[in-house]
Amino acid sequence: MNTVMPESVSRLRQQLWRAYRALGRTLRTLQRDAPMVQGCLYLLRRRCGQPTCRCARGHLHPTWVLTRSEAGKSRLYCVPPDQRGGLRPLAREYRRWQRARALLIKQSARLVALIDQLADRRLQRWPPPKPDGPGSG
């Protein structure tokens, strides 16, 4: 039968608990009740298309926009100057939430991998292999 190596099982259990505590910290980040807005806020510079405008000579028009993916397509929304200050922290909170969500996925996979390794170390093979040699059946 497979003998369990206590030091490796103990080490795996320690890693498992560390991974579990890290997962808890990430979950607390995801549970924040701060409002957020999906998307990324940035300054877009573009041409208006009028041939006599200064943007035709390279002085592009600045416009603050919020971009996000909707139904698989990227959408741009112009942000009025009076709303820009309030929208910036909301978009920042969404980015923080996205990073925490991605980390949660990685941590969950790590936790499952450690559990599988622990089970493999504890597993006893049955029936035992038959001895190969003269006199075996």
- How many Å apart are CA 105 and CA 26, to the nearest integer? 10
Question: What's the pLDDT at 137?
Answer: 55
Number of domains in the chain: 1
Rounded-to-integer distance, Cα 1 and Cα 129, Å: 9
114 touches 106 (CB < 8 A): no
pTM: 0.74
pLDDT band at 1 (very low <50, low <70, confident <90, very high): very low
Position 24 in a domain: yes
In a domain, 104, yes or no: yes
Could you list the residue range(s) of the whole structural domain that residue 75 is in?
Answer: 6-122
Task: Confirm whether 1 is domain-assigned.
Answer: no
pLDDT average, residue stretch 50-55 = 92
131 domain residue, yes or no: no
| Within a domain: 137 | no
31 pLDDT band, cuts 50/70/90, is very high
Give the three-state DSSP class for 65: strand
129: in domain: no
Q: Quick one: pLDDT band at residue 122, thresholds 50, 70, 90?
A: confident
**Which tokens go with 65?**
């926009």
